[in-house]
């Protein structure tokens, strides 16, 4: 009986090691979604062009962004937006995303503080 248990234990260890070698190695950086975005707009009222640009980083349902806005007329950064959000899937086709934003001016003085909720319905 002892020999049977010893052989069974060795066999299970060998097959377990074989399965572990076949397991796909995952790069931890592949779990992070990163994107670089731009949004250029022209305001007819103020007759100014601005470009919002920056990075958005996401992991699972959490998303964070850093988006400065460059004013082409004044040639200065007009606004720096730092935001964070978390997406909650209510159903397969409905999600709710609470978010918060902090805005800073070109002197890094805090401006608007925004808290909101976005909803999304997929069809």
> CA-CA distance, 55 to 72, in Å (whole number)?
20
Instruction: Say whether 28 sits in a helix, a strand or coil.
Output: helix
What is the reported pLDDT for 66? 92
Give the H or E element holding residue 63: strand 62-71
Segment 20-44 shows an average pLDDT of 78
pLDDT in tens, 77-88: 889 999 999 999
Phi first, then psi, for residue 40 (nearest 5°) are -105, 135
Residue with the larger pLDDT of the pair 11 and 50? 50
Mean predicted lDDT score pLDDT of the chain: 83
What percent of the chain clears pLDDT 70, i.e. is strictly above it? 78
Segment 18-33 shows an average pLDDT of 65
What is the reported pLDDT for 100? 94
What is the reported pLDDT for 44? 93
């Amino acid at each position: 009986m002892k020999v049977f248990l010893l052989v069974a234990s060795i066999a299970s260890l060998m097959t377990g090691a074989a399965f572990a070698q076949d397991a796909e190695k995952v790069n931890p950086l592949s779990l992070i979604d990163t994107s670089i975005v731009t949004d250029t707009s022209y305001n007819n009222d103020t007759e100014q062009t601005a470009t919002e640009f920056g990075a958005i980083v996401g992991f699972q349902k959490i998303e964070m962004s850093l988006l400065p806005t460059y004013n082409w007329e004044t040639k200065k950064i007009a606004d720096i937006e730092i935001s964070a959000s978390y997406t909650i899937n209510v159903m397969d086709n409905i999600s709710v995303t609470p978010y918060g934003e902090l805005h800073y001016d070109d002197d890094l003085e805090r401006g608007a503080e925004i808290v909101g909720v976005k909803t999304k319905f997929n069809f």
